[in-house]
Amino acid sequence: MTDKQWHLEDVTEMKSGGIVFMLLSGPLTHGAAGLANSFIERASSLSEAGWTVTILVDVWQVDLKWHVEALVDSGRLHPKVAVRNLYFDLAAQAGLPDGYMESQFSSPLLSDYIGRLDARYDDSNGQVVRYYDKHLYRYFGYVDERSTPLFLDELIDKKRVKRLYFSPGGRLIRGTGYRNESPVWDEFYNESGVVYCRIRYGSDEKVATVTVREGRSRYRNLNRDESLLGFWLSSCFEIGTEDFVICEYAFKFSDLQEFARKSGVPTIYTLHSSHLGPPHGAGAPIKPELGPTFHNAEDMDAIVVLTPQQRFDIRKRFPELQNVHTIPHAAPQPLKVSRTPVAARETGLVVVVGRLDQVKGQRLVIEKFSRLLERHPGARLELWGRGNDEGNIRRLISEQSLSDSVSLKGFTNDTSTVFERAEIALFPSSFEGQSLTLMEAMRAGCVPVCFDFKYGARMLVDDLENGIIVERGDVVDMIDSACVLLDDPTSLASMSKASRVKMAMFSKDRLVRDWENLFFQLSASRK
């Protein structure tokens, strides 16, 4: 990493036309999966193609720099992609108090709070530490693997009144005040100890007021029409009509709209999942959390979905929308490239990879897996992933007496190796956006058998050519289809080869070309 990606004054010198700003929904982490991983791949692909790309992170993330460096070092994030953080930028902009030199004023150190206290580590959890002043319990701490406190809870009569956060260098950078365990205020400090942002919360724990430091000498309250995100973009960037803003999901629409109107920047909103609520069919209601998205959709420059089927369904529901575009994800890149033929795979190995959740359908498969064992007694089912349904799945395996044939394998970040071993992958999901896991299976030549869920199955799988599609919810048909494939190694090998060929269509070059076409279209509409 270069310092240019972390110091405001250096980054602004890089300003030029045609910058792609990508606003992430949530933190940017080295262990990113799903949406966040596809976001990182898109940023890197555009950067490799010559675009100037800046990732915008608007959540408070003290270890962001470490995660970015890890992403770059691992090759997942292109080194020319800049990363900006709302809180880092506002901290740098706040500077020093008027009349002070840097050596005269600084934020308190962690040691100022706990340096003389007795640290007592919890016997059952080595990350929990309690600090005592003789017999008085002063602070509760939670430490990382280096025993550095991630935060300290200040206690009065054993009740939390304040939570303190520290930088990797040990400086106080955030404090949160509590009353009856509910947050009352947040204050954010730069390394010089200057409060650059203060947030007050109401009794409902929602934000009541936001005060920001404007420049180096004064504060102001943001009014109801302003947002912290909009203030950041307006005060720390020079974004204009030649640039583009891509916002993951449209939850930030109200925050971005006023800024986009004033700056004239084309703003694109993306959907990464189905917009349909239960029962997830074409006539199902819109998910409640996406209601505001479609209420405001006509005012957006562009909405990007992942599959033609989803775009078509949206047009059926909202025929007035002419700004919905389809740009599929590129096929995920494996950690290592292999060409394992079907004959070299583990005979009878069937896998389900994904979050352990009821909507992912693992329990449906377990309930009917004995049907496959009747025809293929040596078959095995591996379930990869973690999730809130793990306990139910374990109990079901035991109840079905399948412990010898069905196993929970836990989480892996190397799904390509899993799919290289298996002959068949099952996808019993209720819904998807565009299943990246399905793409990983096909890229590895592991033949998929999937429900006809919305969305992605029809776009990725050509039925009977590179996989099998069965009616959504028909797990008996899914199991019977797997049985036929295990009976027919020739068809299995043919589909395995065809699945790899199909995934070659979803290249990074195609991803870049699709996004460039949208950029050029939006630019032309502004002229």
Quick: pLDDT tens for 390-447.
999 999 999 999 999 999 999 998 899 999 999 999 999 999 999 999 999 999 999 9
Say if pTM beats, i.e. exceeds, 0.75: yes
Res. 104 pLDDT band, cuts 50 70 90: very low
* Whether 172 and 128 share a structural domain: yes
Asked if the structure places residue 173 within a domain, the reply is yes
219 inside domain: no
Same domain flag for 191 and 236: no
Is 357 inside a domain boundary?
yes
> Does residue 139 belong to any structural domain of this protein?
yes
Q: Which residue has the higher pLDDT, 17 or 36?
A: 36
351 part of a folded domain? yes
The CA distance from 455 to 312, in Å, is 11
Confidence of residue 150 (pLDDT cuts 50, 70, 90): confident
Shared domain for 142 and 165, answered yes or no, is yes
pLDDT of the residue at 168: 84
Quickly list H helices, 332-404: 362-375, 390-399
Tracing tokens 């269509």 back to the chain, one arrives at 505
Same domain, 359 and 238: no
* pLDDT of 151 over the 80 cut: yes
Domain boundary residue among 264, 292, 326?
326
Q: Tell whether 152 and 265 lie within a shared domain.
A: no
Q: Does a structural domain hold residue 1?
A: no
Please indicate, yes or no, whether residues 256 and 369 belong to a single structural domain of this protein.
no
For position 481, which CATH number holds? 3.40.50.2000
CATH number of the CATH domain containing 179: 3.90.930
Q: Which domain holds residue 290?
A: 17-92+230-326
In a domain, 207, yes or no: yes
The confidence band for 326, taking pLDDT boundaries of 50, 70 and 90, is very high
The pLDDT value given to residue 249:
83
Instruction: Kindly report the number of other CB atoms within 10 A of residue 201's CB atom.
Output: 18
C-beta separation of 361 from 430 below 8 A = yes
Domain count for the chain, please give it: 3
Does 353 lie in the same domain as 318?
no
Q: Which of 283, 282, 237, 294 is nearest to 260 (CA)?
A: 237
Same domain, 316 and 346: no
Q: What is the pLDDT of residues 241-259, one digit of tens each?
A: 899 999 998 888 988 988 9
Last residue of a domain, one of 326, 358, 377: 326
Task: Say if residue 207 is in the same domain as residue 245.
Answer: no
347 with 486, same domain: the answer is yes
Q: In this structure, is residue 309 part of a structural domain? A: yes
Q: SS3 for 42? A: helix
pLDDT band for position 461 (50/70/90)?
A: very high
pLDDT of residue 4: 33
| Bridge partner list, 121 | 129
Distance, in Å, from the CA atom of 130 to the CA atom of 410, rounded to the nearest integer, reads: 32
- Domain stop point among 190, 214, 238: 214
| 451 in the same domain as 372 | yes
How far is CA 215 from its chain centroid? 32
